[in-house]
Amino acid sequence: MGAQLRVYRRRMRSVKATKKITKAMELISASRIVKAQQRVWASTPYANELTRAVTALATYSSTNHPLTTPSENPKRAAILIITADRGMAGAYSNNAIKEGEQLATTLRERGLEVSSYLVGRKAVNYYKFRNRPVSGSWTGFSDSPTYENAKEVADSLILAFLADSANESVGIDEIHIIYTEFHSMLTQTAIAKRMLPLEVVETELPIPTGLLPMYDFEPDAGSVLNALLPRYIEARIFNAMLQSAASEHAARRRAMKSATDNADDLIKSLTRLANAARQAEITQEISEIVGGADALASANAGSE
């Protein structure tokens, strides 16, 4: 009984130490998510205005630009998957990776060769463990990305997109992005969007009615597209990184709260078991004392 009681107490100390860690991580994520939400809200208007400008330019001009005109015979597609650098965030990274796997399967069914671009150690380790080729990877900033990080990723993707597919193996015809969209503290959804060729799916943008406006582009529509589209891709990737960071903090806070609650339940259960073991040990000791006293009394009575 004494050995069993020591086992319960040792497990209780271990669970209490784990609870302190999960509680601290829950509080850290709760404090960081507010700033992450503010950054998402601050970046969204800029990205939406760029979307409106690029949409107007692509809609009201007759310029055939490589970033807005789909290839007649696409051969390669790139998938950018945004995940976390650290774990303990529930299924946050796994959901993005699974969404990427489904998209890759769909693209391969279309006959396209898929190139993977990864953000976050979780995705990098997933592909490395399975010995899958990776065209580009970036780590170390998933929970607090900067615009410079987004620009670095966007430059690599645009460079690969503009490369001559017939002469270079890095040339790609489509760019898709997988990230986790932040809806609320309880709801985050992994989604896939096509970035290039330009596919505007912004439901909040108003649909023009009546006579369409006339635009003059200086110096010409192609030059304006050359200037705007890289900024559009950078802003969209940056917004996706910010939304993923907010989702990561929310998922980690939720996972750590669940772990803390489970630790509380386990401590209560172990406490009851330890108390039962202690009572059994006390009962056994009393029984041994009483038995010994009876034996001694019987021995004394026999000697008389």
Structural tokens at position 82: 């945004």
Q: Which residues of 241-250 are buried (b: 16+ CB within 10 A; e: fewer)?
A: bbbbbbbbbb
For residue 302, being part of any structural domain is answered with no
Decide: residue 173, CB within 10 A, 0-12 exposed, 13-18 middle, 19+ buried: buried
- Backbone φ and ψ for 293, nearest 5 degrees, come out as -65, -40
For residue 155, being part of any structural domain is answered with yes
Structural tokens at position 42: 């601050």
Contact (CB, 8 A) for 154 and 237 = yes
For residue 90, being part of any structural domain is answered with yes
| Spatial separation of the C-alpha atoms in residues 143 and 149, rounded to whole Å | 12
Predicted local confidence at residue 34, as pLDDT = 86
Share of the chain above pLDDT 70, in %: 85
SS3 22: helix
Predicted local confidence at residue 247, as pLDDT = 93
Question: Does pLDDT of 165 surpass 50?
Answer: no
For residue 237, the one-letter residue type is I
Predicted local confidence at residue 263, as pLDDT = 92
Question: Does pLDDT of 166 surpass 80?
Answer: no
Structural domain total, the chain: 1
Give the least confident one: 40-54, 77-91, 98-112.
40-54
Question: Does pLDDT of 212 surpass 70?
Answer: no
For residue 289, being part of any structural domain is answered with no
Q: How confident is the model at residue 303 (pLDDT cuts 50, 70, 90)?
A: low
Give the least confident one: 20-34, 143-157, 190-204, 243-257.
190-204
| Spatial separation of the C-alpha atoms in residues 114 and 175, rounded to whole Å | 10
For residue 115, being part of any structural domain is answered with yes
Bigger pLDDT: 198 or 197? Answer: 197
CATH number of 246's domain: 3.40.1380.10
Question: Does pLDDT of 208 surpass 70?
Answer: no
Compute the residue count for the chain: 304
For residue 296, being part of any structural domain is answered with no
* Average pLDDT taken over every residue of the chain: 83
Contact (CB, 8 A) for 250 and 33 = yes
Q: What is the pTM for the complete model shown?
A: 0.80
117: left (phi over 0), alpha (psi -120 to 50) or beta: beta
β-sheet bridge partners, residue 116? 79
Question: Does pLDDT of 285 surpass 70?
Answer: yes
Three-point CA angle 95, 243, 123, nearest 5°: 40
For residue 292, being part of any structural domain is answered with no
Predicted local confidence at residue 206, as pLDDT = 52
Contact (CB, 8 A) for 204 and 49 = no
- Find all residues with CB under 8 Å of 220, minimum gap 6, and list them: 63
Closest-CA residue to 236 (of 208, 199, 207, 206): 199
Question: Does pLDDT of 167 surpass 70?
Answer: no
Q: Which helix (H) or strand (E) holds 267?
A: helix 221-303
For residue 87, being part of any structural domain is answered with yes
| Spatial separation of the C-alpha atoms in residues 76 and 87, rounded to whole Å | 31
Residue numbers of the domain that contains 109: 22-203+215-257
Contact (CB, 8 A) for 182 and 243 = yes
